Structure 1
Amino acid sequence: MTRIDIEEFIDNQRIGTPQVMVLLVCGLVCFIDGFDMFMIGKIAPAIAEGFGQPPEAMANLFVWQQIAMAVGAFVVSPLADRIGRQRMLMISCGLFGLFTLASVWSQTLAQLTVLRALASVFMAAGLPMALALISEAAPARRRATFVALSLVGYSTGNAASGAVAAWLLDDYGWQSAFWIGGIAPLVCIPLLAFFVPESLKFRAERNPNDPRIGASLRKLDRQFMVPEDAVFVLGKSGGEARKAKLTDIFTEGRGLMTGVLWAACLISMTSIALTSQWLPTFFQEMAGVPIQQFAVSALIGYMGSIAGTLLIGYLMDRFRATRMIPLFYIGLFAAFIGMAWVSFEAQIFILILIAFNFLQTGGQAGLNTLITKIYPPRMRSTALGWAGGAGRVGGVLAPIYGGYAVAQDFSLQLTLGIAALLPFTVALLVLVLGRVIRTGKAVLAPDAGQV
């Protein structure tokens, strides 16, 4: 038998059309995830007003959305490690799109909450599956950069949801956001079918003798000769078929590493959920800033999201991730304090808002990229999905806190000052994770590189 190392083959490939198409299509999936994740928070007061409810009534929808996203991350994401990333991503896009479109015709806030929860089950799985596909298609030397570029789509989706709040809300109502959020994932289905092949690393771990792998290698490199007795392996020690199990992320020396990562993701995504869902409302109710006015400023601030995502990818291809990521979260702590105490009308506020988005999005992108590096391909979607699921559990608490802060007439300084403790804690956890890895208490993927 002739052993062909899939990792070595991919790492030796030049960046060309196949890799770029995977990046573009999966980046569109990330865009949709970012748009949908953040749009509700930006238009929450308008939705509440449309149904004749006070702003704090949206807390129930936010809580159920986060619960549903946790369910999707824990249940749907692992299916991608069982039946394939591409196929499961197409199914998720289809169901998510249909439920989102159905939300346009909701007659009550309760109906919208139910449909939003159903859509969120499948939305939560989109990002982990897309990142798994991208990380496994890119050479190791550019993996962090590719993941970062795809997450620019996530940040762009965030910005696009701000554009809806700023320019479409008055003329077309809150339903305009759901039209966009429902149609876009349906467009992704044919794109995934024609331009995004199943992961070669996933296929090789599932079946080292799969003849389709050889055909896929020839499409990537027409000069590459595939022997008839070829066995496709990952690394020097591969060669046995290994199906993913849910327990894989806790076994073989990964338990402590996974536990620390889950804690970091839980707290980081709690912070993101809180600000994405409640920040416009906080400024409207606590500082008297109209939602449309804040949306315009936030749209400018989202330029920082793109820069932060790209920079963390560049840095993680060159330096230790567990040293770069804490710097972002310590800076985010300072940005929270700045937003709390600097007047919205002050010229420096927009710079703080840009820095806030730069650090928050860059930090979370760093955590996601780190997960794609340290777990083997057969469990990568599960690792991403379950870490995200842990984060969604924390996100359930964020809407409760946001609604309580508004109902109790908390000041903006108190509300954001408490929230600032979240990124500071994440920074400490990632430093602990780095210590765990460097002392040999964690088993990393063979292609993990420097973390």
Structure 2
Amino acid sequence: MRDGEGTPSAVGHLPEEVAGTRRFPSFTARETNLAMVLALLAWTVAVFDYGLFGTLLPAMTEDFGWTPEQSYLINTLIAVGTAVVAFGVGPVIDRLGRRRGMMLTIGGTAVASVLTALIPARLGLVSNAAMVAIRSLGGLGFSEQSVNATYLNEVFSVTEDRRKRERRGFYYAWVQGGWPLGFLLASALALVLLEPLGWRALYLVATVPALVLVVVIGRKLRETPQFELQHRLQQMRRAGQAAEASTLAAEHGLEVSEESPLARIFGPGLRRNTVVLSLAWIVNFFGINIFSVLGSSILANAKGVELSAAFWMLVIINLGAYFGYVFHGWLGDRIGRKRTIVIGWMVSGVAFAAMLSPLVSTPALIVVTYAVGLFFLVGPYAAILFYMGECYPADCRGTGTVIIGAMSQPGTIIGGFLFTALAAASSTGTAALWVGALGTFLSGVLMLWAKPVAEIRHQG
């Protein structure tokens, strides 16, 4: 047996009658549905906290006395800290497990939310440094989507629910749709609570569901049998039972490697997609940071929309974006996930360029073009995150998905500095066009070099 580029796996050294003779314990339909619901809630709550910063940035800018350019810089510096945190999550997920990984990421979200509410304003560098440090913990919450992708990829492989086994991308899309739902929730609550209670109260509100979910996940969510086997194999190898571990892995059709998960994802057969997907995430997050995270600032500063009206617009826009996930998950099952991602991101770049043009000036046109852009910008993440999980074997799946997902933060950093510099030199609209819209389109072009999953052969 060989992987995508012809490198022999450990399974290939064992007799054919041994390999793949044992099956993993299955997930019942009820357990699968519970896993999907908890994963959706976890991702929505994580995005709620993550999205609050961008949604509330205009209000926080006034409270902290920042200029628009300073607020963009603060957002970029937070991305630097977020990257440091997010890069450390991947190997942890392959060691602690998918369930504990979900608890860790959501727990980090709760801590980040409550501490953000306590940051004092008007203390200059002290306030700014505290904001950057505390909001960097958001890297834990942001990594939750990669944990979801890893977890559900393995659950759908062993579920008794035939529909979910056969249409994995479509069902995963409902979960990944927590991104626009989280932003919708942030916008809706800001619309209702910002004026009477202030921005700090919204962060305290975000803390409660995160803490509740940590408890529920710890009690109700089942670990995947793939990780449980990998954990057992590691224990056997540490106990000097390497031969027995290899046989047990082969009986389940798993690849065995003594390399670390990080080395594995850059090894033969996996390296190309690791590099291509990482670059695509970096460039695509130019657009994500500008049009999704900083949506209220773009509408206010680039299109002259009042802040209260911007919140209303973003509620409508993000509601439509949720169905972008469902559409792209469905489409990925039919025409291939890679092709779906390429088409979606190219269309999104064109739509955002149209939205930023002087020809689009009425509220209705702004909402329509922005909604189309966001539909095709975030929707393909339903395809790409599940595609990432399919690219890697079980022993490095968590590391691969989280490391690539963490590349969003270098994208936010690079794109943030470019956006801030160009906005200061010209205008927010010009910066959003040349950094956000163009970056989104180019990320679709980069995906043309990714290797289709059909060419990547591994088990587990």
Normalising by structure 1, we get a TM-score of 0.85
**Residue aligning to 1:132:** 150
Residue 166 of structure 1 aligns with an amino acid whose one-letter code is: L
Question: Does residue 65 in structure 1 map to residue 75 in structure 2?
Answer: no
Question: Does residue 16 in structure 1 map to residue 29 in structure 2?
Answer: yes
User: 2: CA distance between counterparts of 1:304 and 1:31?
Assistant: 16
Q: Structure 1 residue aligned with 2:195, among 170, 178, 191?
A: 170
Question: Does residue 154 in structure 1 map to residue 172 in structure 2?
Answer: no
Q: Could you tell me whether the CA contact under 8 Å between 1:33 and 1:126 is conserved in 2?
A: yes
Residue 421 of structure 2 aligns with an amino acid whose one-letter code is: Y
Q: Structure 1 residue aligned with 2:437, among 402, 413, 420?
A: 420
Q: Secondary structure at 1:420's aligned position in 2? A: helix
Q: Secondary structure at 1:275's aligned position in 2? A: helix
**Residue aligning to 1:238:** 254
**Residue aligning to 1:284:** 300
Q: Could you tell me whether the CA contact under 8 Å between 2:168 and 2:333 is conserved in 1?
A: yes
Question: Does residue 375 in structure 1 map to residue 392 in structure 2?
Answer: yes
> 1:377-429 CA deviation, whole Å, 9 max, x = no partner?
22111111110122211111233233334433426256324422112211111
User: 2: CA distance between counterparts of 1:149 and 1:429?
Assistant: 26
Q: Could you tell me whether the CA contact under 8 Å between 1:283 and 1:412 is conserved in 2?
A: no
**Residue aligning to 2:52:** 39
Q: Could you tell me whether the CA contact under 8 Å between 1:372 and 1:384 is conserved in 2?
A: yes
Q: Structure 1 residue aligned with 2:100, among 87, 105, 108?
A: 87
**Residue aligning to 1:225:** none
Q: Could you tell me whether the CA contact under 8 Å between 2:273 and 2:450 is conserved in 1?
A: yes
Q: Could you tell me whether the CA contact under 8 Å between 1:138 and 1:146 is conserved in 2?
A: no
Residue 355 of structure 2 aligns with an amino acid whose one-letter code is: M
**Residue aligning to 1:325:** 341
**Residue aligning to 1:193:** 218
With over 3 angstroms needed to count, the CA separation of the structure-2 counterparts of 1:385 and 1:167, relative to structure 1, is: same
Q: Could you tell me whether the CA contact under 8 Å between 1:100 and 1:119 is conserved in 2?
A: no
User: 2: CA distance between counterparts of 1:234 and 1:410?
Assistant: 59
Q: Could you tell me whether the CA contact under 8 Å between 1:277 and 1:399 is conserved in 2?
A: no
How far off its partner does 1:332 sit?
0.4
How far off its partner does 1:437 sit?
6.5
Question: Does residue 303 in structure 1 map to residue 319 in structure 2?
Answer: yes
Q: Structure 2 residue aligned with 1:263, among 273, 279, 295?
A: 279
**Residue aligning to 1:227:** none
How far off its partner does 1:362 sit?
0.9
Question: Does residue 119 in structure 1 map to residue 137 in structure 2?
Answer: yes
How far off its partner does 1:114 sit?
3.8
Residue 58 of structure 1 aligns with an amino acid whose one-letter code is: S
Q: Could you tell me whether the CA contact under 8 Å between 1:84 and 1:202 is conserved in 2?
A: yes
Q: Structure 2 residue aligned with 1:361, among 367, 378, 390?
A: 378
Q: Could you tell me whether the CA contact under 8 Å between 2:352 and 2:370 is conserved in 1?
A: no
With over 3 angstroms needed to count, the CA separation of the structure-2 counterparts of 1:280 and 1:346, relative to structure 1, is: closer
Q: Secondary structure at 1:207's aligned position in 2? A: helix
With over 3 angstroms needed to count, the CA separation of the structure-2 counterparts of 1:421 and 1:2, relative to structure 1, is: closer
**Residue aligning to 1:218:** none
How far off its partner does 1:334 sit?
1.4
Q: Structure 2 residue aligned with 1:347, among 361, 364, 385?
A: 364
How far off its partner does 1:372 sit?
1.3
Q: Could you tell me whether the CA contact under 8 Å between 1:148 and 1:313 is conserved in 2?
A: yes
User: 2: CA distance between counterparts of 1:210 and 1:93?
Assistant: 28
Unaligned runs of 5+ in 2: 1-17, 122-126, 158-164, 237-246
Q: Secondary structure at 2:167's aligned position in 1? A: helix
User: 2: CA distance between counterparts of 1:210 and 1:201?
Assistant: 14
Question: Does residue 206 in structure 1 map to residue 224 in structure 2?
Answer: no
How far off its partner does 1:25 sit?
0.8
User: 2: CA distance between counterparts of 1:234 and 1:312?
Assistant: 35
Q: Could you tell me whether the CA contact under 8 Å between 1:305 and 1:362 is conserved in 2?
A: yes
With over 3 angstroms needed to count, the CA separation of the structure-2 counterparts of 1:278 and 1:125, relative to structure 1, is: closer
With over 3 angstroms needed to count, the CA separation of the structure-2 counterparts of 1:374 and 1:208, relative to structure 1, is: same
Q: Structure 2 residue aligned with 1:102, among 110, 115, 129?
A: 115
User: 2: CA distance between counterparts of 1:428 and 1:2?
Assistant: 39
> 1:171-195 CA deviation, whole Å, 9 max, x = no partner?
1111133113222221111111122
**Structure 1, 52-61 or 325-334: larger mean CA deviation:** 52-61
User: 2: CA distance between counterparts of 1:387 and 1:103?
Assistant: 27
Q: Could you tell me whether the CA contact under 8 Å between 1:266 and 1:393 is conserved in 2?
A: yes
How far off its partner does 1:4 sit?
5.6
> 1:9-42 CA deviation, whole Å, 9 max, x = no partner?
64xx6x6210011111111111022222322112
How far off its partner does 1:86 sit?
1.4
User: 1: CA distance between counterparts of 2:302 and 2:180?
Assistant: 26
Query: RMSD over aligned Cα, in angstroms?
Result: 2.7
Q: Could you tell me whether the CA contact under 8 Å between 2:329 and 2:383 is conserved in 1?
A: yes
Q: Could you tell me whether the CA contact under 8 Å between 1:203 and 1:210 is conserved in 2?
A: no
Q: Could you tell me whether the CA contact under 8 Å between 1:30 and 1:153 is conserved in 2?
A: yes
User: 2: CA distance between counterparts of 1:148 and 1:233?
Assistant: 31
